[in-house]
């Protein structure tokens, strides 16, 4: 499947639109249309149900080191600015960017690749902001143009080795930027913080500066004590949150894959330090299985353990769950979710500091400039185990997923083309979304075969019976074949048709989207049939 085909389908059938499209769009922002909103809701709901509400805390789940409880939170997007100083986002959440003086384009330093080439006695580095085959083609064309050579003289270009990152080049004077015609137009890399800033309150100054959260996780850490004090949870337990996050990405691209506003589905799982390695393995494997069970085929999905040198100093394991998105080159994978062993780093950072009394308030001790002397809150975020009488700072396992990336992967995987006979028996191309029934925006469509003989009345009755339980759709317009195709394109797993036989024996035809198999059930049994399909 070509990515363009999926993008076109998403637009045509109301899954995704560019944000503010009538004003020319805003890069890095997307709107989910009538079908998209249902699909993404189903992704979120599947995650929440599977990870949180259906977690049985009485018995040990398969593969888990012990029984555990899951609970949820929904935190504010704007938090106290000190949270981001403490988490490191304020000082360290930076990308390096480079500008092109000629094209005025901006690039992420670590994403620019290129190749060294020599021709006509000159050696230059030809850069590209794409990757794989596309980058090879782009650099070839740019080099031919730069050296003023025709395509048939391409053998005069002496390429040195494969594509390498621009970060390996020390002097930019010999670099031909991705969109430049002249050499040496790229600026030196500079740091750029990815957090969106805003101000809270009427006065806009340094003191009112706040940030849109770049991740949902910090809301969980700062509420750790509140959850412990307001519920009866005991370690080990997890807190889950789904919500919007914002990152001012330098180069948003690849449809919704890298957006500036996106939704995360994060869990912070708190456990005893001596059990954390086992819990890490449990969550890594369970999260991988979740994608497989919802239909991501195992050969495009992979679990990649980070090497020891990629790990943070406090971590004893991190794995990325990755998907081979069709917009990536062969062999390349994009991150869907990171599962990280974070040790006690986050709780410890938020704890750091000393509280002193200032008037009626307890505040973190300040330095001579009036700034907090420590990054943390000074509050006690340790846990007391009342059975073993031990006090400790729990370790944390963090499975952090993106709802938009998961939705995009499910869409990519679902896009299928096959050939089916049309009404006259001629083979015709069919496009359909092979979405898992739990994810499908519409669970079933109800049609009268023709708009007469009492068929619409019966079909409407069936529709009304189904509607309180499932998102179903009624359609009586046009040829039935066309109505089937429209449902196939949005991934509706079942179509229920009232036809001539219904008038005789009260049965209806049910058609399966994937196999096109048809069978009959009593019109009273439609609810049970759809339910059966959904719980498979
Ligand atoms: P990347 O390396 O692709 O920028 P990341 O490692 O910074 O991602 P995390 O900080 O681990 O991502 O965030 C957890 C999850 O949030 C990611 O696995 C991804 O699914 C999602 N996510 C992060 N950034 C974006 C974005 N710009 N657009 C859409 N989803 C995102």
Q: What distance in Å separates the CA atoms of residue 505 and residue 10, rounded to the nearest whole number?
A: 40
Q: What distance in Å separates the CA atoms of residue 49 and residue 11, rounded to the nearest whole number?
A: 29
Sequence-separated contacts (24+) of 327-333 with Cβ below 8 Å: 327/3, 327/254, 327/255, 327/257, 328/131, 328/132, 328/254, 329/131, 329/132, 329/133, 329/134, 330/132, 330/133, 331/132, 332/131, 332/132, 333/302, 333/304
Neighbouring residues of 353: CB distance < 8 A, sequence distance ≥ 6 = 364, 365, 372, 373, 374, 375, 376, 377, 378
Would residue 353 count as lying in a domain?
A: no
- Nearest atom in ligand 1 to the alpha carbon of residue 335 is 18
Q: Which of 112, 404, 118 is nearest to 243 (CA)?
A: 404
What are the Cα distances from residue 324, in Å, to 85, 169, 260, 286? 35, 29, 22, 20
Do 329 and 227 belong to one domain?
Answer: yes
Do 301 and 447 belong to one domain?
Answer: no
Would residue 330 count as lying in a domain?
A: yes
CATH of the domain at 257: 3.30.930.10
Would residue 176 count as lying in a domain?
A: yes
Tokens 């995704």 found at: 16
Do 72 and 170 belong to one domain?
Answer: no
User: Which residue, judged by its Cα, is nearest atom 21 of ligand 1?
Assistant: 402
User: Which residue, judged by its Cα, is nearest atom 10 of ligand 1?
Assistant: 215
Q: In a mutational test of the pocket of ligand 1, which residue from 16, 262, 318 has the highest number of ligand atoms less than 8 Å from its CB?
A: 262
User: Could you tell me the distance, in angstroms and rounded to a whole number, from the CA of residue 263 to the centre of ligand 1?
Assistant: 10
Do 88 and 114 belong to one domain?
Answer: no
* End-to-end alpha carbon distance in the chain: 27
Do 319 and 247 belong to one domain?
Answer: yes
Residues spanned by the domain of 52: 33-93+195-344+393-410
For residue 92, give both structure tokens.
Answer: 């360290």
Q: Between β-strands 494-498 and 69-73, what pairing exists: parallel, antiparallel or unpaired?
A: unpaired
pLDDT given at position 132: 85
Do 106 and 233 belong to one domain?
Answer: no
Phi, psi of 263 (to 5 degrees): -115, 135
pLDDT given at position 2: 86
Q: Ligand 1: does its nearest atom lie under 6 Å from the Cβ of 193?
A: no
Q: What is the 3-state secondary structure (H, E, C) of 136-197?
A: HHHHHHHHHHHCCCCHHHHHHCEEEEEEEEHHHCCCHHHEECCCCCCECCECCCEEEECCCE
CATH of the domain at 508: 3.40.50.800
For residue 258, give both structure tokens.
Answer: 């890298």
Tokens 């390349």 found at: 332
Neighbouring residues of 478: CB distance < 8 A, sequence distance ≥ 6 = none
Tokens 């930019």 found at: 172
Would residue 371 count as lying in a domain?
A: no
Instruction: For the chain, 536 residues long, give each residue's pLDDT as a single digit of tens.
Output: 889 999 999 999 999 999 999 999 999 999 999 999 999 999 999 999 999 999 999 999 999 999 999 999 999 999 999 999 888 898 888 889 999 999 999 999 999 999 999 999 999 999 999 888 889 999 999 999 999 999 999 999 999 999 999 999 999 999 999 999 999 999 999 998 999 999 999 999 988 999 999 999 999 999 999 999 999 999 999 999 999 999 999 888 899 999 999 999 999 999 999 999 999 999 999 999 999 999 998 799 999 999 888 777 677 789 999 999 999 988 899 999 999 999 999 999 998 876 677 777 766 677 777 777 777 888 899 999 999 999 999 999 999 999 999 999 999 999 999 998 877 888 999 999 999 999 999 999 999 999 999 999 999 999 999 999 999 999 999 999 999 999 999 999 999 999 999 999 999 999 999 999 999 999 999 999 999 998 87
For residue 217, give both structure tokens.
Answer: 């996780």
Do 209 and 315 belong to one domain?
Answer: yes
Do 208 and 294 belong to one domain?
Answer: yes
Q: Between β-strands 395-402 and 427-433, what pairing exists: parallel, antiparallel or unpaired?
A: unpaired
Tokens 């991150």 found at: 335
Would residue 381 count as lying in a domain?
A: no
Would residue 174 count as lying in a domain?
A: yes
Q: What distance in Å separates the CA atoms of residue 396 and residue 339, rounded to the nearest whole number?
A: 11
How many domains does one find in the chain? 3
DSSP label of 50: I
Length of the chain: 536
What are the Cα distances from residue 251, in Å, to 111, 130, 259? 9, 11, 9
User: Could you tell me the distance, in angstroms and rounded to a whole number, from the CA of residue 262 to the centre of ligand 1?
Assistant: 9
Do 136 and 38 belong to one domain?
Answer: no
**Under 8 Å between Cβ of 493 and 436:** no
pLDDT given at position 1: 80
Do 172 and 299 belong to one domain?
Answer: no
User: Which residue, judged by its Cα, is nearest atom 23 of ligand 1?
Assistant: 402
Would residue 351 count as lying in a domain?
A: no
Do 242 and 154 belong to one domain?
Answer: no
User: Which residue, judged by its Cα, is nearest atom 3 of ligand 1?
Assistant: 335
Longest Cα–Cα distance of the chain, Å, equals: 89
Would residue 16 count as lying in a domain?
A: no
Q: Ligand 1: does its nearest atom lie under 6 Å from the Cβ of 327?
A: no
End residue of a domain, out of 192, 208, 242: 192
DSSP label of 206: G
Q: Ligand 1: does its nearest atom lie under 6 Å from the Cβ of 213?
A: no
Q: Ligand 1: does its nearest atom lie under 6 Å from the Cβ of 320?
A: no
Do 207 and 324 belong to one domain?
Answer: yes
pLDDT given at position 370: 72
């Amino acid at each position: 499947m070509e990515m363009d085909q999926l993008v076109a389908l998403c637009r045509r059938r109301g899954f995704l639109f560019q944000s503010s499209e009538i004003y020319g769009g805003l890069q890095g922002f997307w709107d989910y249309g009538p079908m998209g909103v249902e699909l993404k809701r189903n992704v979120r709901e599947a995650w929440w149900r599977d990870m949180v509400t259906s977690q049985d805390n009485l018995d040990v789940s398969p593969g888990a080191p012990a029984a555990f409880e899951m609970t949820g939170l929904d935190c504010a997007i704007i938090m106290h600015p000190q949270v981001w100083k403490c988490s490191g986002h304020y000082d360290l959440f930076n990308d390096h960017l480079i500008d092109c003086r000629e094209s005025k384009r901006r690039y992420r330093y670590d994403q620019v690749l290129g190749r060294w080439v020599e021709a006509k006695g000159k050696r230059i580095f030809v850069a590209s902001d794409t990757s794989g085959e596309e980058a090879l083609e782009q650099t070839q064309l740019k080099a031919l143009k730069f050296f003023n050579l025709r395509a048939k003289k391409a053998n005069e270009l002496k390429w040195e080795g494969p594509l390498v990152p621009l970060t390996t080049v020390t002097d930019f004077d010999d670099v031909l930027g991705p969109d430049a015609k002249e050499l040496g137009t790229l600026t030196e890399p500079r740091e750029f913080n990815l957090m969106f800033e805003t101000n809270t309150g009427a006065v806009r100054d340094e003191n009112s500066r706040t940030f849109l959260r770049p991740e949902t996780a910090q809301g969980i850490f700062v509420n750790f004590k509140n959850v412990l004090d307001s519920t009866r949870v005991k370690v080990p337990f997890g807190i889950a949150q789904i919500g919007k996050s914002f990152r001012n990405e330098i180069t948003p691209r690849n449809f919704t894959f890298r957006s500036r506003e996106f939704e995360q589905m994060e869990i912070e799982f708190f456990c005893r330090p001596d059990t954390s390695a086992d819990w890490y393995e449990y969550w890594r494997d369970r999260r991988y299985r979740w994608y497989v069970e919802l239909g991501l085929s195992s050969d495009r999905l992979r679990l990649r353990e980070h090497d020891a040198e990629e790990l943070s100093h406090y971590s004893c394991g991190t794995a990325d769950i990755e998907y081979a998105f069709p917009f990536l080159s062969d062999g390349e994978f994009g991150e869907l979710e990171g599962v990280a062993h974070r040790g006690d780093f986050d709780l410890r950072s938020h704890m750091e500091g000393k509280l002193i009394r200032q008037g009626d308030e307890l505040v973190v001790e300040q330095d001579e400039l009036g700034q907090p002397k420590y990054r943390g809150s000074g509050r006690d975020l340790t846990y007391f185990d009342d059975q073993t009488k031990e006090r400790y700072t729990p370790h944390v396992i963090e499975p952090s997923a993106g709802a938009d990336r998961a939705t995009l992967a499910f869409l990519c995987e679902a896009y299928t083309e096959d050939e089916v006979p049309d009404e006259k028996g001629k083979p015709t191309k069919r496009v359909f979304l092979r979405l898992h029934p739990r994810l499908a925006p519409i669970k079933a469509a109800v049609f009268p075969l023709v708009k007469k003989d009492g068929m619409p009345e019966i079909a409407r009755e069936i529709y009304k019976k189904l509607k309180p339980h499932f998102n179903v759709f009624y359609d009586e317009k046009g040829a039935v074949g066309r109505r089937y195709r429209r449902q196939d394109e949005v991934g509706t797993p079942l179509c229920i048709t009232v036809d001539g036989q219904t008038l005789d024996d009260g049965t209806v035809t049910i058609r399966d989207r994937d196999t096109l198999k048809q069978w009959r059930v009593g019109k009273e049994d439609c609810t049970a049939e759809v339910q059966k399909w959904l719980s498979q």
